[in-house]
Each structure stands twice: as structure tokens, then as C-alpha cells.
């Protein structure tokens, strides 16, 4: 397969610049001819005017590339289902629609939940136009696939996984062993309310009243100030560390030093990289049964599912894990085994099979 892959610039924040090189290397190892082109914001500090100018230049550059090079069979655009992405992706697909045989969009999160309920009329119209321009869609969870399929039944939708390179040197059996000191609860992710960080702080306040423990928060985002304020208001500043954005070495050390990983998210994402990192470190997980977590995790085996926006249930789940050393050990073993399902070669095989089904569906539609 001769593939043109449009994905975020390597210098921007987020998980995609980590996933994409792993996927490209694995696809090439599987015999796929991959050309990668950066798409989207060039940096995290772009102004609105810069975004407009640079996206126009990007569209012109991609159109020129596919016009001069007729080898591409499939073009995949890694994106998300949200307004800003639609405003850039629709003009792109319009400009190359007749120049590439198969166009595929891959949604890394976003708002497929807005496609079916009432309201969001203009968002739905733009989304429908994007899907009509596309020959298929890749998503990261069955939940997203059901939503897109119900909204646009004629659009082929396939579920894929993000590659994750499990490293034995980043896992540590001590994370699942009985701790000699005060246990640590780890939250790692972007500090936005929808990721459940404020629910985590509220749950920790409840938990801290019942037993000694510590909270470690790794990440940055707009809710950082509120996190610090809530910890101080509850007299928990000495029991919690808000570490900010950590280096790879430091975040690896944070996973090793922790006993339970929490991410009570209701953010529009497929399968958070932090979940895979926690699994690789042998940590039991407390999270919500949404999207990719519902597909890949089993309650009581890999961790404990809690409802979103439920600090009391979150505190109860964490307490259950901290009180049961054997349960944590079993979950550690299960998670270290499960994370191998996301190995780059396995992810690439799923990816190629999905693209083959989409191109086959497109060929059938053309000849019918």
C-alpha cells in the first residue's frame, strides 16, 4: 500500500507526535510505502492569524504534492472531530478529492457524541460534509464507531489502536508490591476539568480523611490553579505534589513510585496514552468505562471502573485497591500482559487491515 499520512508536527504537545513515528516505522516494516507530511498547528503558540495563513500554505503544499506524485493510493488525515479541525480538514479534502483514490480521516478523540442528539446543527452539517468527502473513518473505540456509523451509515468506519512500545526497563514490580511507606496515588494527564483532575482532588480529600496517602499530579493545563487552590483549601498541600509537566525520565520515575493510577476522564479521547503507560508500569487503574477503556480494560482485572464526576465512588475504588495488596499484584500482572496488545507491529497490522477494508469498500462502491 502506498500511503500518504498527514499527522501533527513533531514539536507540538500531545500524544500523537509520540505515536506516529512508531506507527510509520511499523507500517514500513510491514511493507507499506509511507510518506509522512506534518498537518495542523506548527507550534503550541500559534496566533489565530498564523493558523489561517499556515493552514492555507499546508493545503497548497499537500495539493501540490499529490498533483505531482500519482503514486499515493490512500491518504490518511490524523485529526479530531471538533470545530477547529473541521475548518481545516474540509478545505483540505475538497482540494485533493480527485487526486487521491482513497481519502481516510482518523479521529483521535473529539465529539462524536454531538452527532446524534438534538442541537449542534452547524457542527453536524460540517461533520456530514467531511464524511461525504471521505472514503472511510478510523476511530479508537467501539463507542466512537457506533456514533459515527449511526450518523453516517454509508461511511465505512474501522476501529484501530494507537501503538505503544512497552519497555521492560520502565516497568517495576515494586509498584504492585506492598509498600513500606505511605502509598501514592498518581494522576497523569492534561489538567483540564474533563480529564477528572478536580474530581481526583475531591476524592483524595475524602480518602485522606480515612487513611494516610499521598497524591502526585503530573501534567499541566488550565485547571492547574484550581487544583492548587482546592488542595490548599482542604489543608492537603503537604500531602500532595503538583509536579507540572515532567520529562520522560521523571514521569517514568513517577509511575514507578506510585501504587494506584487514576484517570476519571470524560474528555473526548479514544484511549489515553497515560493508561498504556500505567499498564506498562504495572499499576492498577481507576478510570471511567468510556471509549477505549471500555474496549480494552476489564473491571476487576485491569482496574476498577467508576462513573464520571463521582468523587465519592473514586475515593472508594482507590481505597479498595490500597487495602488489597494481592488485588494490586494481580492487576499489575494483567496490565503488563495486556499492554503488549498495543505493540507497534500489532497496531500496524490492525491499521493495514482496516485500510484494506476501506479501500475495498470504495472499489465496490465505484464499480456498483
Let me know whether 182 and 291 are in one domain: yes
**Amino acid 170: pLDDT:** 57
Nearest to 172 by CA among 248, 253, 252, 256: 256
If asked whether residues 131 and 54 sit together in one domain, one would say yes
Tell me: the pLDDT tens digits for 194-248?
Answer: 999 999 999 999 999 999 999 999 999 999 999 999 999 999 999 999 999 998 8
Indicate if 156 and 46 belong to the same structural domain.
yes
Let me know whether 81 and 193 are in one domain. Answer: no
Specify which residues 271 forms β-bridges with.
Answer: none
Q: What does each C-alpha distance from 256 to 158, 173, 250 come to in angstroms?
A: 35, 8, 10
> For residue 200, how far is the Cα from the chain centroid?
19
Same-domain check for residues 73 and 142: yes
pLDDT at 176: 41
CA angle 236, 238, 239 (to 5 degrees): 65
Greatest CA span in the chain, whole angstroms? 69
Please tell me whether residues 25 and 144 are part of one structural domain: yes
Same domain, 6 and 153: yes
* Domain CATH number, residue 19: 3.40.50.2000
Strand partners, 158: 138
Q: Name which residue leads in pLDDT, 45 or 140.
A: 140
Q: Is the pLDDT of residue 171 over 80?
A: no
Determine the pLDDT at residue 240. Answer: 96
Percent of the chain with pLDDT over 90: 80
CA-to-CA dists, residue 258 to 49, 155, 211, 284, 322, angstroms:
43, 43, 16, 10, 11
pLDDT: which is higher, 312 or 360:
312
pLDDT value, residue 350: 97
Confidence of residue 361 (pLDDT cuts 50, 70, 90): low
Give the count of domains, the chain: 2
Query: What residues form DSSP beta bridges with 32?
Result: none
In this prediction, residue 46 carries a pLDDT of 83
Share the mean pLDDT of the chain.
91
Q: In the predicted model, is pLDDT for residue 175 greater than 60? A: no
For 221, the 3-state DSSP assignment is: coil
Do 154 and 178 lie in one domain? The reply is no
In terms of domains, do 220 and 337 share one? Answer: yes
Judgement on whether residues 35 and 154 belong to the same structural domain of the protein: yes
Question: How confident is the model over 72-117, as pLDDT tens digits?
Answer: 999 999 999 999 899 999 999 999 999 999 999 999 988 888 899 9
C-alpha cell at 285: 487503574
Please report, in angstroms and rounded to a whole number, the separation of the first and last CA atoms in the chain: 23
Secondary element (H or E) of residue 199: helix 197-208
CA angle 344, 353, 32 (to 5 degrees): 65
Whether 74 and 359 have beta carbons less than 8 Å apart is answered as yes
Residue 250 has pLDDT above 90, yes or no: yes
Q: How confident is the model over 279-291, as a mean pLDDT? A: 96
Decide if pLDDT at 173 tops 70: no
Alpha carbon distance 88, 59 (integer Å) = 9
Confidence of residue 17 (pLDDT cuts 50, 70, 90): confident
In a shared domain, residues 275 and 148: no
Q: Containing domain of residue 330, as a range?
A: 168-341
For residue 310, CA distances in Å to 196, 264, 265, 346 come to 9, 9, 11, 35
- Whether residue 119 sits in one domain with residue 203: no
Amino acid at each position: 500500500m502506498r500511503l500518504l499520512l498527514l499527522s501533527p508536527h513533531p514539536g507540538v504537545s500531545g500524544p500523537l507526535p509520540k505515536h506516529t513515528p512508531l506507527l510509520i516505522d511499523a507500517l514500513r516494516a510491514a511493507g507499506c510505502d509511507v510518506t509522512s507530511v506534518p498537518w495542523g498547528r506548527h507550534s503550541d503558540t500559534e496566533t489565530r492569524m498564523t493558523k489561517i495563513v499556515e493552514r492555507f500554505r499546508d493545503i497548497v503544499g499537500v495539493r501540490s504534492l499529490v498533483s505531482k506524485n500519482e503514486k499515493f493510493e490512500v491518504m490518511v488525515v490524523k485529526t479530531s472531530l471538533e470545530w477547529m479541525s473541521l475548518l481545516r480538514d474540509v478545505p483540505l479534502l475538497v482540494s485533493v478529492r480527485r487526486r487521491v483514490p482513497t481519502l481516510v480521516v482518523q479521529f483521535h478523540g473529539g465529539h462524536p457524541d454531538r452527532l446524534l442528539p438534538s442541537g449542534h446543527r452547524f457542527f453536524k452539517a460540517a461533520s456530514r460534509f467531511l464524511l461525504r468527502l471521505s472514503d472511510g473513518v478510523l476511530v479508537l473505540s467501539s463507542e466512537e464507531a457506533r456514533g459515527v456509523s449511526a450518523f453516517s451509515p454509508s461511511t465505512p468506519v474501522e476501529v484501530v489502536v494507537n501503538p505503544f512500545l512497552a519497555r521492560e526497563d520502565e516497568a517495576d514490580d515494586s509498584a504492585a508490591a506492598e509498600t513500606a511507606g505511605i502509598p501514592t496515588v498518581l494522576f497523569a494527564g492534561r489538567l483540564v476539568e474533563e480529564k477528572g483532575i478536580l474530581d481526583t482532588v475531591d476524592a483524595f480529600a475524602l480518602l485522606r480523611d480515612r487513611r494516610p496517602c499521598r497524591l502526585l499530579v503530573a501534567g499541566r493545563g488550565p485547571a492547574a490553579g484550581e487544583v492548587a487552590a482546592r488542595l490548599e483549601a482542604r489543608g492537603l498541600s503537604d500531602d500532595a505534589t503538583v509536579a507540572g509537566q515532567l520529562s520522560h525520565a521523571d514521569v517514568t520515575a513517577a509511575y514507578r513510585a506510585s501504587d494506584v493510577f487514576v484517570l476519571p476522564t470524560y474528555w473526548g479521547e479514544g484511549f489515553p496514552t497515560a493508561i498504556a503507560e500505567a499498564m506498562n508500569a504495572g499499576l492498577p487503574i481507576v478510570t471511567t468505562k468510556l471509549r477505549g477503556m471500555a474496549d480494552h480494560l476489564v473491571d476487576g482485572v485491569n482496574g476498577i471502573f467508576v462513573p464520571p464526576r463521582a468523587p465519592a465512588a473514586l475515593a472508594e475504588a482507590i481505597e479498595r485497591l490500597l487495602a488489597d495488596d494481592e488485588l494490586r499484584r494481580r492487576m499489575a500482572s494483567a496490565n503488563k500482559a495486556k499492554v503488549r496488545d498495543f505493540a507497534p507491529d500489532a497496531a500496524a497490522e490492525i491499521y493495514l487491515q482496516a485500510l484494506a477494508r476501506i479501500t475495498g469498500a470504495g472499489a465496490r462502491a465505484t464499480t456498483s
